Structure 1
Amino acid sequence: MATPLPQTYLTQCCLPCEKELNLVLYLHQVVGPNANQKTIIPTKPGESLFGITAVNNWAIVNAPDFKAKVVGHAQGIHVMADQPSVGYYNSSTLRLWREASRERLFR
Structure 2
Amino acid sequence: MTPDRAALGWRHAPALPAATRPRTPDGRPLKITFGEMREMGLSGVLVFCPDYRCSHSLRLPADRWADEVRLSDIEPRFVCAGCGNRGADVRPDFESGKPPQFAKAAAN
For the aligned pair, the TM-score class normalised by the smaller chain equals under 0.3
Q: TM-score, normalised by structure 2?
A: 0.21
Structure number with bigger Rg:
1
Q: TM-score, normalised by structure 1?
A: 0.22
Higher strand share: 1
Higher RCO (C-alpha under 8 Å, 6+ residues apart): 2
